[in-house]
Amino acid sequence: MAATQYETDRTSGEGLRGGRARARAWCAGLLFAGVSVVVGCRLADSDGVTPVPQLLAFLPWLLVPTGLGLAFALLGRWWFGTVWGVVVLGLLAWFIEPYGRVAEPSGAPVAHVRVLTSNVEFGRAAPALVPVIRRERPDIVFVEECDYACQDLLRQNVGGDYPYRRAVAAAGSKGSIILSRYALKGTDGVRGQMGMPGALADVRGHPVRLQLAHPKPPLPGQVALWHRELGRLRAFAAADRTTPTVLAGDFNASQDHAGFRRILDTGLRDAARLAGSDRTPSWPARTTPTLGAQIDHVLVSDEFSAAHARFLRLADTDHRALLVDLTLHVRQAAATRP
Q: Count Cα atoms within 13 angstroms, Cβ side, for 99.
A: 23
Give the mean model confidence (pLDDT) for residues 144-170.
Answer: 97
Give the mean model confidence (pLDDT) for residues 117-128.
Answer: 98
112 or 14: whose pLDDT is higher? 112
- Looking at residue 21, its pLDDT comes to 82
Q: How far is CA 153 from the centre of its chain?
A: 28
Give the mean model confidence (pLDDT) for residues 233-240.
Answer: 98
- Looking at residue 106, its pLDDT comes to 86
Q: Count Cα atoms within 13 angstroms, Cβ side, for 127.
A: 3
- Looking at residue 9, its pLDDT comes to 47
Asked if residue 328 has pLDDT above 70, the reply is yes
- Looking at residue 336, its pLDDT comes to 42
Q: Is 285 exposed, middle or buried (0-12, 13-18, 19+ CB in 10 A)?
A: buried
98-112 pLDDT, tens digit each: 997 788 898 999 999
Give the mean model confidence (pLDDT) for residues 230-252.
Answer: 97
Give the mean model confidence (pLDDT) for residues 173-178.
Answer: 97
- Looking at residue 334, its pLDDT comes to 44
Nearest Cα to Cα of residue 39 among 59, 61, 68, 69: 59
Distance CA 100, CA 53 (A): 20
119 or 18: whose pLDDT is higher? 119
- Looking at residue 18, its pLDDT comes to 61
Q: Indicate the average pLDDT of the chain.
A: 92
Asked if residue 13 has pLDDT above 50, the reply is no
Asked if residue 274 has pLDDT above 50, the reply is yes
101-105, 122-126, 307-311, 329-333: least confidently modelled range: 329-333
5 confidence band (pLDDT: 50, 70, 90) = low
42 confidence band (pLDDT: 50, 70, 90) = very high
311 bridge partner residues: 322
- 0.85 surpassed by pTM: yes
Residue 327: count other Cβ atoms within 10 Å of its Cβ.
16
Q: Is 21 exposed, middle or buried (0-12, 13-18, 19+ CB in 10 A)?
A: middle
Residues recorded for the chain: 338
DSSP string, 88-119: HHHHHHHHHSPPS------SPEEEEEEEEEEE
Give the mean model confidence (pLDDT) for residues 161-179.
Answer: 97
CA separation, residue 321 to residues 55, 129, 281, 325 (Å): 23, 9, 11, 14
- Looking at residue 1, its pLDDT comes to 52
Q: What DSSP element (H or E) covers 200?
A: strand 198-203
Give the mean model confidence (pLDDT) for residues 262-273.
Answer: 97
Asked if residue 118 has pLDDT above 60, the reply is yes
Give the mean model confidence (pLDDT) for residues 112-133.
Answer: 98
Asked if residue 19 has pLDDT above 90, the reply is no
